[in-house]
Structure 1
């Protein structure tokens, strides 16, 4: 092989490829960046056995071929080189990298270890806005579980909604669930009827690569494919085979039960809860005492003392008091764009929901806290 390319044109792709490679553990071929030159195209390829990345660039190909090179050292070297032409040759099982009068020699990886990666499926490919996907992920990500033993709850769920063109992004970890809906007829058509699940580790990689730019997207062979519009970068991710909880059964069960409605200013509530959290040395929770025009928030710490704040609100319902996890409520509220937030309660030990007037396609469900009032307020 003997090729040349512009360092600044390939640097970004090589850095992205390097980010998925294991640095120390794992088989040597999983720590390898493969360089393939043929048909006037230079490809950089790598996989960690799950994620696959292929980057395509133009360059000068004096002699086509395939080489494998230690991924981290190559990416780090490329990052430190100057802008301009870089030449790569393979001689005597060694990769020789040249720029101007500078030369670097790195051992090559055995070619027999190379395995062909999945190509982007052209049939039925769709175009989707990267910032739309990124926002949808951000809205539900905090409800995706980290504990791998929770299986499907460690995944982001994408499935068809009840309306044509409606796509539901859902994160569910047991005590919390976030549901965000968007509308796109083209993407709706390629999502299977039972939906798809994307493991949180894969979601983390998606968050790194998604920008505001449009992308090409497709599904095939139980994999998710994403490609930049200029076709220079292609990513392939495995989909999870777990079965996601049937959350629509839950939604239907409580649809008519969340009748105690509390409406108040989001920012005022966040600021109050943030102060009350200073007193959460015991239960990490806040008591909400509800009445028609004001809500009294109180917290207690056995060694700190007590705190109480009063906020204006609108409330109608039969529930007089409920206890919620302070930090959890703050986190949930921060995902809304609305200035006014509406809580729907069904009981002191039943799920509640949060909605916003300027977030019509977004809802969060969570569980209150069970605490004896006597033990909550009495110092030992």
Structure 2
């Protein structure tokens, strides 16, 4: 195998691949990236047996072939090469070695047999459809903050990606995440061909890796789904992942339907005010109290060991007086999802879950549990 490739192109491809590799693993081959050169391009493949990424890049291939080499080491070398360098990778030198040449720099890295590299089996995908990158980016970016990190409730360790009925009764593509303290439910227009998609739980790591495919606003992503795997594909990058083998709970039961007390507030002002008063809250609870009265909101914190803080905001509120407490971190995470000018909070009582919406947009809904303060 021998090919030459621009350093910037190689750096991007190797960085994409190595991010999937687990730094600690007991199977040496899983620390490697599989490099396959053929025709006018090169494929870089990496996997941790649950997620697989394949990056395709243009290259000048002098001799086709394949090898595997330590992903993290290759990434470090390429990252430190000079900008604009033409990099040549070859296995024609010493056996069991990959030679990397760029300008006056030469490296030789140990390789492992290509036959040892695991291939992720492709199931028969039951559903395939195409969706614009901004649509998928919004679904996953706005829901991922609520993914649970508790390993015992593994079925909450991802985003539930499925088709459902929206607020107006039309079928929508929906992403839901919850950790029991807060919940995010985001809807998007249903792409053609997606209606029969099985509901799957996309793992946290896959959601993080997926973000790299969705940066290009012009990109169209091909999505293929089966009961056990999901694949996201562009012309240059393919991300395949196992889905979480479990049943996502019936999230509709925890979304309040009768919350009648309505607060409307400038989303950015609210987030900044919460952040300021939370500065003195204790790290363990980070509790912030909301005192609501006619067109007035007072945010306060009382931390005996640290001190107190209070800030008043002008808001739109015309219901009975209400005092309710929340974890400041949860409030901030939800407030930061708001793309519109105003955030709308719907309350019932100080002990019931609170609903938050982005202005009059019904396609994004958040639920947060209160806490005693």
**What's the TM-score bracket when you normalise by the shorter of the two chains?**
0.7 to 0.9
CA–CA separation in structure 1 for the residues paired with 2:98 and 2:307: 68
Which of 205, 211, 217 is the matching residue for 2:209? 205
CA–CA separation in structure 2 for the residues paired with 1:115 and 1:297: 55
Gaps of 5+ in 2: none
1:34 aligns with 2:34: yes
Deviation per residue, 1:314-343 (Å, 9 max, x gap): 334446322233343233222112333222
Three-state SS of the structure 2 residue aligned to 1:134 is helix
Counterpart of 2:21?
A: 21
- Which aligned pairs between 1:343-358 and structure 2 lie closer than 5 A? 343-357=345-359
CA–CA separation in structure 1 for the residues paired with 2:276 and 2:41: 59
CA–CA separation in structure 2 for the residues paired with 1:51 and 1:172: 22
Asked if 1 retains the 8 angstrom alpha-carbon contact of 2:128 and 2:193, the reply is no
User: Whose Rg is larger?
Assistant: 1
Three-state SS of the structure 1 residue aligned to 2:194 is helix
1:68 aligns with 2:68: yes
Three-state SS of the structure 1 residue aligned to 2:248 is coil
- Which aligned pairs between 1:169-318 and structure 2 lie closer than 5 A? 169-186=175-192, 188-189=194-195, 191-192=197-198, 195-213=199-217, 214=219, 215-220=221-226, 222-228=228-234, 231-251=235-255, 254-255=256-257, 257-281=258-282, 284-318=286-320
Q: Which has the higher helix share?
A: 1
Deviation per residue, 1:330-374 (Å, 9 max, x gap): 332221123332221112211111123253311111111234xxx
CA–CA separation in structure 2 for the residues paired with 1:84 and 1:350: 62
- In structure 2, relative to structure 1, the CA distance for the partners of 1:329 and 1:35 (3 Å cut) is closer
After TM superposition, the structure 1 stretch with the greater mean CA deviation from structure 2, 296-305 or 335-344, is 296-305
Three-state SS of the structure 2 residue aligned to 1:189 is coil
- In structure 2, relative to structure 1, the CA distance for the partners of 1:84 and 1:366 (3 Å cut) is same
1:145 aligns with 2:145: no
Gaps of 5+ in 1: 372-380
After TM superposition, the structure 1 stretch with the greater mean CA deviation from structure 2, 163-172 or 115-124, is 115-124
Task: Return the offset for 1:222.
Answer: 1.9
CA–CA separation in structure 2 for the residues paired with 1:134 and 1:326: 26
Asked if 1 retains the 8 angstrom alpha-carbon contact of 2:302 and 2:308, the reply is yes
After TM superposition, the structure 1 stretch with the greater mean CA deviation from structure 2, 173-182 or 349-358, is 349-358
After TM superposition, the structure 1 stretch with the greater mean CA deviation from structure 2, 17-26 or 168-177, is 17-26
- In structure 2, relative to structure 1, the CA distance for the partners of 1:43 and 1:265 (3 Å cut) is closer
After TM superposition, the structure 1 stretch with the greater mean CA deviation from structure 2, 135-144 or 291-300, is 291-300
After TM superposition, the structure 1 stretch with the greater mean CA deviation from structure 2, 322-331 or 10-19, is 322-331
Asked if 1 retains the 8 angstrom alpha-carbon contact of 2:139 and 2:174, the reply is no
The TM-score, its normalising length taken from structure 1, stands at 0.84
CA–CA separation in structure 2 for the residues paired with 1:97 and 1:306: 60
- In structure 2, relative to structure 1, the CA distance for the partners of 1:123 and 1:11 (3 Å cut) is farther
CA–CA separation in structure 2 for the residues paired with 1:62 and 1:124: 39
Task: Return the offset for 1:118.
Answer: 4.5
Counterpart of 2:114?
A: 111
The TM-score, its normalising length taken from structure 2, stands at 0.85
Asked if 1 retains the 8 angstrom alpha-carbon contact of 2:87 and 2:100, the reply is no
CA–CA separation in structure 2 for the residues paired with 1:136 and 1:232: 22
Three-state SS of the structure 2 residue aligned to 1:185 is coil
CA–CA separation in structure 2 for the residues paired with 1:107 and 1:310: 63
